[in-house]
Structure 1
């Protein structure tokens, strides 16, 4: 709050909401920014964009009609709050953070389903980000209840070079791989001691496989120091655990008993003092601004289409944020709100910056360098693409209606109301259609570090063109899209239902004429003609991107 002194008693002026502060900083220094920037997207475009970003799928045709017709001045903020409170939002974050943290690695020691459920429950409860990361780095895999959280370390097999690099990339926004054997040759900020300072937290830890249960867990020794030699200069160095340039964390002096469980054959040793446990404290501590700035940058990239620093894991002085004041503001706000990611997603969705059109007329004069003067195109993730296609074709709705019908019979007998519970609906529908999502991930997913680039492959094109899964979704059965189109008589009605279902918007006059021309070219158009019409829409660039 700011004290405003007047002739009378001082008054207190509350600072603007975070989303307004962000917009002010985006426009700072350019008095003509609002006149040059793209206008806000229309209601239908905004609905599709924010539904995809916050829940991972497109809205239904009826949801588009309802939202566009709604005249409430605060309907956008109401929608954002509704989406953030939905079970679908937790599922969306489960997908996003699973991909970010595990980069689509195959599960080896922890079942991926258990890990994904762990993430989903965490986001349903809106657990603080620092608390979640702290848990991932401290559990050792021996407790069944907390074992899923150990996947980050266990499924990397505690391999020193892999874990150290990923700690830097994923949690600090710094790819230190090239600083393992020498100071980074191209990035002055990345030093060999930074890499080995991170490595020192885990250099004593090892993968232990229980000879009886065959389960893998984390053991740790009480001794072992980290030293290194530059292959360029032969200069030798050593370091205790440390996060980048923060102070080293020395081992306690004069410990009489080094172990809770001493090393022995087929025994998982447990030291009294654990360097690994210090990692979580140091990484998520308030002194480590790199951790805070990294997650702010990654959430910004999710919502806005690119990071304030790009690439996301190359944060250094020669590659600074495009808007350092925004990074500072978001970092402070995240800390003051106890690492509440839902708060951050909400405020970004409320900004004009997020809500701007993604296209402008050729003669438009965008702000200099076009930094957030218009919306950016974002390719749909494999999960978004799968759920959006199932939503567009009516598969999701038809499947849920069938599941609800069965459950209502059970509810009637047991005097329950599960069929109408949103959480039950999301979980049950996800279980029923998870196989379809897996097929899309297998075809469209990328193993390893994720990118915002989009390059379609031949396999992906064939999957969309000839895949039996999608062809089955196009069959005119039940209340699926092609069945609904088949019942309509006028081309204009067909065009409207098609565009609302697939593109989440009303068709233009030109598009209505194009659909009409296609149908009138064959007055006795068949089911196959309607399927071709829907398939063409699903395969278009407009559907494949969030815009």
Structure 2
């Protein structure tokens, strides 16, 4: 028995520490990878953000808007050590999470292309349903790529293909970029001239899944659906090949094996044979094979790409950056971190909400955006400080409506309905006002808006646009109305900064507000301009 006890003790010494390491939460392992990614990281890195900065950042990232004054006051008054984790869980459980993710994935998938065959309202409802249910990401993408648009109940899922008119090269390129992190545009005509990993055969391997598909009855019909032939192979030739040799490829993922296609008997290639005004249905669908192949566990690029994109959404830049240039000459800033995130994401059944939560809980995410004194070099890819992120048009619009109190006034009006009032009803009041923000701040069609640059049109929009200015005048319950009823200038400053910037004013800011209010002849007009000055500021325009 003594020998057995000693043996057990030895096993415990050797195994239990390893088990302890394996059971560390992912957020802890993430921080270790980040810390190991820069020399003297702990000495050089910014401290954790204060509660004001954290509350605003995480509310924008997980709900797409800024906190109310009441939420700010409650969070600052809370002394619980786990209040940040509780806030993250509350936001992830709220209706705002599905709204925020729907906005993000709309831009990621459709890149602000005009709505053609699937109306925006149907598409946004579909996306919200996906994220409200926390549908696994692989199942979500299979729907996007396999749905033919013929059933009105599921047509919205076909928007990715339908609203690109199933143009074979456009869909091939965008599948490579959006779902695999590979910008293979140059590989359409030849192997990529500067990226050794991007081959022409890989490009056409993706297109081979699609080349038999077409829009029925035609691409111009707004109610067109996706149809497919049972025959047709992909041929390609490099423009640099003097011999003009033709190549043929079967469907396959880049770097993967050819997809095995079912064999069909001659004469049984179709379940519904081609005929005039009849949509053909082949015995098996190459496009459905695409949905299975791209989400297969054998295709590691699929999970790796979305993990990198979600990291970029939360952290302001990808571990591979830009996010659609994943290749050997553009290595990840933290390769071990990206590998571990990818493995864990697959192990957790492609759960996006779980992944977002783990990132939000890290010290890396919660660091201050203020560069510490003495830190002259803070490369963005080392995450020594939080990366500034410009608000998306949707975030800006909702944050503006919250800051000016428009959302508060609408929320108060809905309270008259009692228990019947819901967050979805409030969205119904706010969402229709997003049009001008998307139009002016959203960039051109086909642009995912990953690079921020202010334009003259945007400046004029913020200064004179009715969508902004129209929210400033007093209305029962909004910010200007609340401020007009406060007589103490210090209290005005406190409410103003809490509502717009989600923080308390500094002593200098409080004094400046007081000086302006005491010297004005038109107090209400001055209050309106104070609100406008803060919502037009760089501090408001960015998530920091």
| The two structures share one fold, judged by TM-score above 0.5 | yes
Per-residue deviation, residues 390-417 of structure 1 (Å, max 9, x unmatched): 0001100101221331x24xxxxxxxx3
**Alignment partners' CA distance in 1, 2:341 and 2:260:** 32
Q: Distance in 1 between matches of 2:324 and 2:11?
A: 52
8 A contact 1:297–1:308 mirrored in 2: yes
Q: Deviation at 1:426?
A: 2.0
For residue 32 of structure 1, what is the aligned residue in structure 2? Answer: 40
**Separation in structure 1 between the aligned mates of residue 381 and residue 117 of structure 2, nearest angstrom:** 46
Contact 1:379–1:452, Cα closer than 8 Å, also in 2: no
Matched residues in 2 for 1:355 and 1:5: separation?
42
Structure 2 counterpart of 1:395: 406
Q: Distance in 2 between matches of 1:368 and 1:319?
A: 16
Per the alignment, do residues 77 and 258 of structure 1 end up closer, same or farther by CA in structure 2, a change over 3 Å counting?
A: same
> Are 1:247 and 2:257 counterparts?
yes
Aligned to 1:533: 530
Q: SS where residue 247 of structure 1 aligns?
A: coil
1:344 aligns with 2:355: yes
- Note the C-alpha offset of 1:367: 6.5
2:420 is matched with 418
When residues 538 and 30 of structure 1 are mapped into structure 2, their CA distance, relative to the original with a 3 A threshold, is closer
Alignment of 1:385-534 (within 5 A): 385-405=396-416, 407-408=417-418, 417-419=419-421, 425-446=422-443, 447-522=445-520, 524-534=521-531
User: Scaled by the length of structure 1, what TM-score is found?
Assistant: 0.93
d(CA) in 2 for partners of 1:366 and 1:108?
A: 47
How far apart, in 2, do the equivalents of 1:510 and 1:5 lie?
A: 66
Once the 2 structures are TM-superposed, how far is the Cα of residue 304 of structure 1 from its aligned partner?
0.2
SS in structure 2 of the partner of residue 388 of structure 1: helix
Deviations, residues 98-119 of structure 1 (Å, cap 9, x unaligned): 1110111112111121111011
Query: Using the alignment, how far apart are the partners of 1:503 and 1:285 within structure 2?
Result: 44
Distance in 1 (alpha carbons) for counterparts of 2:25 and 2:147:
37
Q: How does 1:150-165 map onto structure 2 within 5 Å?
A: 150-165=158-173
Instruction: Kindly state the Cα deviation for residue 497 of structure 1 after the two structures are TM-superposed.
Output: 0.6
CA distance in 2, matches of 1:302, 1:214: 33
The SS at the match of 2:314 is: helix
* Conservation of the 8 A alpha-carbon contact between 2:317 and 2:381: no
Q: Check 1:515–1:180 CA distance in 2 against 1; reply closer, same or farther (3 A cut).
A: same
Deviation at 1:368, TM superposition (A): 7.0
SS at match of 1:219: strand
Distance 1:327 1:389, change over 3 A: same
Equivalent of residue 293 in structure 2, options 282, 300, 303: 282
Aligned partners of 1:545 and 1:368: how far apart in 2?
Answer: 19
CA distance in 2, matches of 1:180, 1:463: 40
What secondary structure sits across from 1:473 in the alignment?
coil
Q: Is 1:23 matched with 2:37?
A: no
Contact kept? 1:210, 1:266, Cα under 8 Å: no
1:31, CA displacement in angstroms?
6.4
Residues 221 and 304 of structure 1, relative CA distance in 2, 3 Å threshold: same
1:441 and 1:101 mapped to 2: Cα distance?
Answer: 16
2:273 to 223, 239, 262: 262
Looking at structure 1, the residues matched to 146 and 471 of structure 2 have their Cα atoms a distance apart, in angstroms, of 45
- After TM superposition, give the deviation of residue 210 of structure 1 in Å: 8.2
> Quick one: distance in 2 between partners of 1:8 and 1:310?
44
- Indicate conservation of the 8 Å contact 2:213/2:229, yes or no: yes
1:50-76 deviation line (CA, Å, top 9, x unaligned):
000000000011211110111000000
> Over aligned residue pairs, what C-alpha RMSD do you find?
1.9
Q: Does residue 292 of structure 1 match 2:303?
A: yes
Task: Name the CA shift for 1:513/1:199 in 2 (closer, same or farther; >3 Å).
Answer: same
* Residue from 192, 198, 205 that aligns with 1:190: 198
Q: Which residue of 1 aligns with 2:141?
A: 133
1:5 Cα deviation after fit: 7.4
* 1:512–1:428 distance in 2 versus 1, CA, 3 Å: same
Secondary structure of 1:227 counterpart: strand
Are the equivalent residues in 2 in contact too, given 1:259–1:271 (CA < 8 A)? yes
Consecutive unaligned residues in structure 1, runs of 5 or more: 409-416, 420-424
Match of 2:79 in 1: 71
Deviations 1:449-502 (A, max 9, x none): 323322111221121111223222111221111111111112211111111001
For residues 282 and 306 of structure 2, the distance between their equivalents in structure 1, rounded to whole angstroms, comes to 32
Residue 95 of structure 2 is aligned to residue 97 of structure 1: no
**Whole-Å separation in 2 of the counterparts to 1:456 and 1:253:** 56
Structure 1 range deviating more: 143-152 or 426-435: 426-435
Mapped contact 2:320–2:332 kept (Cα < 8 A): yes
1:366/1:373 contact within 8 Å kept = no
Residue 214 (structure 2) aligned to one of 196, 200, 206: 206
1:411 aligns to what? Answer: none
Unpaired runs of 5+ residues, structure 2, are 1-6
> Matches of 2:184 and 2:489 in 1, distance apart?
59
Distance 2:116 2:449 in 1: 24
User: How many aligned positions are there?
Assistant: 528
1:250 CA drift (Å): 4.1
**TM-score calculated relative to the size of structure 2:** 0.94
| 2:380/2:387 contact within 8 Å kept | no
